[in-house]
Amino acid sequence: MLKKRIIPCLDIKNGRTVKGINFKGLRDAGDPIALAQKYEEEGADELVFLDISATEERRATLLPLVQEIAHHLSIPFTVGGGIQSVRDVSNLLQAGADKVSLNSAAVNNPKLIQELSMAFGRQCIVLAIDSKEIFGKDTVFIHGGKKPTELETLDWARRGIDLGAGELLLTSMDFDGTKKGFDLRLLQKISKALPVPIIASGGAGNTTHFSEVFTKTNVTGALAASIFHFGEIAIPALKQELQQQKIPVRWI
Amino acid sequence: MITLLKYNAGNILSVQNALNRLGYDSVVTHDKKVLEKAEKVIIPGVGEASSAMEYLKAHELDVLIPKLQQPVLGICLGLQLLCRSSEEGNALCLGVFDSEVVRFPSTEMIPHMGWNNCTELAGTLTKNIPETADFYYVHSFYATRSKHTKSICHYGIPFSATLEKDNFFATQFHPEKSASVGTILLKNFLEL
């Protein structure tokens, strides 16, 4: 049986992880490789690395880091943040990333999804969508959630899949950081309408939130950052809980 | 030396990285002489079947590969190329395994992507691996069951997760992306 995926997300800036990370046994908390390995050992099913460096020097640090990650990790990983072109994606995949995620660039230039899908296959193209409800309309935001667009979330997700995205990473900005649980309404709406793998993001605060999102929506993965980084939820305990709820998880 | 087949498919680096972690050096080539003399050959790959077969034919590897005598491991697309034929681009493949490669029924989410376990484990590759162990899959086409099937994966329908025939071995999943259990499987092949 296909398992539900638990996916920690690491924010990277200038080659280091950001946000305070508090992991027992990790001396240098800013080292993305050490943290990634720790997550792999604990049973993370995939990892997402989100590059939030704002400057042009970004690529200078990102590509060697991706190579290092690929050398050390034996689980799949996605790299996102600031990807603009076919060349960017080609470089990241050649450095060893399994998938790339696109956000603002896909909104600004939807044909990019098609070009990438044709060049590299849809299985490695993840469409990341930041969604916020504005006057009852699920609205797509870009530029790290700073800029609203005209796009309705389901419409954009469907278009992205038609253009060749193989997977959605759907973040609810209304729920992100609240720790009150995933945005079940939004995730249910999108995952019922679209037959593609969807990763739920935003709002996870405890293990019950994960079992809820897997039982009440059709998402196939759930992503979180700080609750894993701060050790508020340990992945082995989370998986044990999910297994007790009869949710299929990979056991190691 | 472990020799990885170079062709128009991706993911070769992931396999090289996995071999490195296990302490094995490898070369990547489509040179027939190097392939013939290799200690072991791995056909990795994420790609499209018909264009991959065209590449192999252009380099006369469609004749060479089925005649190789040393252990050969096909991974993902590598497995599919070792079968008789593929619906992906209607390709006639290498014909080592009796399976046919067909598309998943549209009732399932395609691609089949993520961690899934194998059942009815037999053969050499899955030695010391329990049926509860999960491997990482990414594929839209699958190999039907045949007399060379050595384990089954279920995704809507049952299909060949591993195939073995004489010196030929293959996995539909990616052992190089399957954490510690993938490492055990790769070792089972490398230590043949």
Of residues B17, B110, B116, nearest to A96 (C-beta)? B17
**Does the CB of B48 have a partner CB in chain A at under 8 Å?**
yes
pLDDT tens per residue, range A57-85: 666 788 999 999 999 999 999 999 989 99
Of residues B117, B132, B177, nearest to A74 (C-beta)? B177
pLDDT tier at A29, thresholds 50, 70, 90: low
3-class SS of residue A152 = strand
pLDDT tens per residue, range A82-95: 899 999 999 999 89
Q: Are B177 and B75 in contact (CB under 8 A)?
A: no
Residue labelled with tokens 């050499």: B124
- The conformation of residue A2, written as its DSSP 8-state character, comes to P
Contact flag B115-A2 (C-beta cutoff 8 Å): yes
Contact flag B13-A70 (C-beta cutoff 8 Å): yes
Known catalytic membership, residue A11:
yes
Substitution target from B134, B141, B152, B173 for chain A, most A beta carbons within 10 A: B134
Where b means 16+ CB within 10 Å and e means fewer, A198-218 reads bbbbbbbbbbebbbbbbeebb
Strongest mean pLDDT among A7-16, A26-35, A238-247: A238-247
Would the pLDDT of B184 be above 70? yes
Task: Write out the catalytic residue numbers of B.
Answer: 76, 174, 176
Give residue A231's pLDDT.
85
Give residue A57's pLDDT.
63
Q: How far apart are CA A52 and CA A15, in angstroms?
A: 10
Give residue A70's pLDDT.
96
User: Which residue ranges make up each domain of chain A?
Assistant: 5-244
Contact flag B179-A252 (C-beta cutoff 8 Å): yes
pLDDT tens per residue, range A138-178: 999 999 889 999 999 999 999 999 999 999 999 999 999 89
Looking at A45, A51, A88, A130, which residue is catalytic?
A130
pLDDT tens per residue, range B28-72: 999 999 999 999 999 998 888 999 999 999 999 999 999 999 999
Contact flag B114-A45 (C-beta cutoff 8 Å): yes
For residue A74, which residues of chain B lie inside 8 Å, CB to CB? 18, 21, 176-180, 182-183
Give residue A58's pLDDT.
63
Strand partners, B5: B29
Strand partners, B134: B117
Would the pLDDT of B113 be above 70? yes
pLDDT tier at A44, thresholds 50, 70, 90: very high
**Does the CB of B155 have a partner CB in chain A at under 8 Å?**
yes
Sheet with B141-143, strands from edge to edge, namely: B91-92, B85-86, B100-103, B141-143
pLDDT tier at A56, thresholds 50, 70, 90: low
Would the pLDDT of A27 be above 70? no
Give residue A20's pLDDT.
46
Known catalytic membership, residue A130:
yes
Distances (CA, A) of A78 to A63, A238, B125, B132, B180: 13, 22, 28, 26, 20
Among B129, B191, B113, smallest CA distance to B162 is for: B129
**Does the CB of B46 have a partner CB in chain A at under 8 Å?**
yes
How far does the CA of residue B110 sit from the closest CA of chain A (Å)? 7
Among B18, B46, B65, B30, smallest CA distance to B180 is for: B18
Q: How far apart are CA A211 and CA A60, in angstroms?
A: 40
Give residue A226's pLDDT.
85
For residue B182, which residues of chain A lie inside 8 Å, CB to CB? 74
Residue B125 is which amino acid?
Answer: L
Torsion of CA A201, A129, B48, B31, to 10 degrees: -80
* Counted domains in chain B: 1
Give residue A19's pLDDT.
60
Would the pLDDT of A101 be above 90? yes
CATH number of the structural domain spanning residue B24: 3.40.50.880
Give residue A230's pLDDT.
82
For residue B140, which residues of chain A lie inside 8 Å, CB to CB? 123
User: How much of chain A exceeds pLDDT 90, in percent?
Assistant: 77
**Does the CB of B16 have a partner CB in chain A at under 8 Å?**
no
**Does the CB of A194 have a partner CB in chain B at under 8 Å?**
no
ipTM of model: 0.92
Give residue A15's pLDDT.
82
Would the pLDDT of A28 be above 70? no
Q: How far apart are CA B130 and CA B153, in angstroms?
A: 13
Q: Are B46 and B77 in contact (CB under 8 A)?
A: yes
User: How much of chain B exceeds pLDDT 90, in percent?
Assistant: 91
How far does the CA of residue A40 sit from the closest CA of chain B (Å)? 7
CATH for the A5-244 domain, from 3.20.20.70, 3.40.50.11900, 2.60.220.30, 3.30.390.10: 3.20.20.70
A128's tokens: 């990341």
**Does the CB of A121 have a partner CB in chain B at under 8 Å?**
yes
Q: Positive or negative CA dihedral for A124, A197, B116, A65?
A: positive
Pairs across A and B, CB distance < 8 A: 80
Contact flag A123-B138 (C-beta cutoff 8 Å): yes
Give residue B71's pLDDT.
98
Would the pLDDT of A54 be above 80? no
B46's tokens: 């994420």
Contact flag A166-B113 (C-beta cutoff 8 Å): yes
Q: How far apart are CA A199 and CA A10, in angstroms?
A: 15
Would the pLDDT of A217 be above 70? yes
Enclosing domain of residue B154: 2-190
Show Cβ contacts of residue B6 under 8 Å, excluding neighbours closer than 6 positions: B12, B28, B29, B30
pLDDT, mean of residues A127-135: 97
3-class SS of residue A98 = coil
Strand partners, B119: B152
Of the two residues B22 and B11, the one the predictor is more confident about is B22
Of residues A98, A121, A251, nearest to B177 (C-beta)? A98
Give residue A23's pLDDT.
47
For residue A197, which residues of chain B lie inside 8 Å, CB to CB? 109, 113-114
**Does the CB of B95 have a partner CB in chain A at under 8 Å?**
no
Substitution target from A1, A2, A198, A251 for chain B, most B beta carbons within 10 A: A2
Report chain B's mean pLDDT, rounded to a whole number: 95
Substitution target from A42, A66, A74 for chain B, most B beta carbons within 10 A: A74
